[in-house]
Amino acid sequence: MESLKKTEQFRHVYRTGKCVANRYLVLYVCGNGLDRNRIGISVSKKVGNSVVRHRITRLVRESYRLSEQGFNSGLDMAVVARVNAKDADYHTIRGALLHLASRAGIYDQKSSH
């Protein structure tokens, strides 16, 4: 799994990407012209302290990692956590991520296990 790290990479996804949201997460998606996906996770200080923010980041990253084969390839994705995410458990975050990916048309349940 590759990450978006630079602010400019995030900005590009925000500007050119499609956006879908639910109670816990906001997902921005755009093509990257590569044969692999890159994912960036952003959790603002409004969500909580560093322990809370890192926990949410780990949950989102693990949710994506375990479902990666169901995602289309060649995408840049930016996941932004909302304040509601701080009380959510792994299954809630994973469900929220897959729900958004399905709505964005980039996730196929049949290819996942």
Q: Label residue 1 by pLDDT band (50, 70, 90).
A: confident
Strand order through the sheet with 18-21? 2-3, 38-42, 75-81, 25-31, 18-21
> Hey, what CATH topology would domain 2-102 get?
Ribosomal Protein S5; domain 2 (3.30.230)
In the chain, % of residues over pLDDT 70? 97
Instruction: Give the span between the Cα atoms of 17 and 20, in whole angstroms.
Output: 10
pTM above 0.75, yes or no: yes
What is the distance between the alpha carbons of residues 17 and 82, in angstroms, rounded to a whole number?
Answer: 18
